[in-house]
Amino acid sequence: MRRKHVASLAALVTAFTLTACGGQPAAEPAPAPAPAPAPAAEQQPQGDPSEVSFLAGTARSNKADETTGDLAPPDASQDVRDKWVQLRASRAGDLDPVVVNGAGLTLYRFDKDSASPSRSTCSGDCAKTWPPVTIAKGGKVFVAGVRKADVGSVRRDDGRTQLTIKGWPVYRFAKDTKPGDTLGQGVGGTWFGVTPDGRKAGTPADRPAPAPDPAAKPATSVTLFTGKNFDDTSGNNFATGIAGPGCQDVRGEFRSLSTAGSVKLWSEPKCKGRSVVVSEDVADLGTVGFLPKSLFFS
């Protein structure tokens, strides 16, 4: 009797299973979807490098320590050299525009790197000839003529953080020793000066004044430079800061401007005459049609 009971129970379970599955054996459950691959270790989101401060203007206009950063002596430690970096739109030789650092040295990009994702392929002996532009945790990046949103970072194999422009890692060239040198341009058909928007620098080109961004926040202050291309180091060039609110007259002639928001420029003192609104850095104020004699801060 016991064997009959067990057999009947097994038959009942089998019948129930077939009925529940439409008369077919139960299908195996579908495998769980594979997890999405983790992003590459080198890739960093385009924009602010992590734990780095951005300041509009040049290192000098922000009173950076000129014994550190881009101006540190050759025997300074890496930590001292990485305290600050300047990214300034300028002209060097036949390259206009091209980005230069705080010492006025031309910065470059490498065709064998990649911008999306950001990846540096220059290390070892390559990095001795083409020193990467690196920044320390808590360091400062001074931007003049380069949009903050276009600056990012990538983690190098040695753990250092290298700055990028539009995703492209940026470098110096060891044979460039003074401002205006562009000895790295075209080397190997793969190295080129980098423009403020990450392109390869080439022949001179006119740079129209940027169109105002309606969404830009009003600026509370601006930095004006007597030289074009935010130059406050050549000859008698210097920079001065002007802060709002309201209308502020400009004393002297200034040929470039760095701002962290929108400001209205006027052709005459006391905010009279012609006017134009700018919300980005202007490398040559002549492109707006006049050198400003006053500024209005909202």
Closest CA relative to residue 132, chosen from 194, 189, 188 = 194
Q: Which domains does the chain have, with CATH numbers?
A: 53-193 (no CATH), 221-297 (2.60.20.10)
Tell the burial category of 6 from Cβ atoms under 10 Å away from its Cβ (0-12, 13-18, 19+).
exposed
Averaged pLDDT score across all residues of the chain? 86
pLDDT at 205: 57
pLDDT at 24: 43
pLDDT at 43: 36
pLDDT at 215: 85
State the Cα angle at 145 between 79 and 196, rounded to 5°: 80
pLDDT at 187: 97
pLDDT tens digits for 73-113? 999 999 999 999 999 999 999 999 999 999 999 999 999 99
State pTM to two decimals: 0.80
pLDDT tens digits for 17-67? 434 334 444 444 444 444 443 333 333 434 445 579 999 999 999 999 999
Q: Which two tokens stand for residue 204?
A: 């001179």
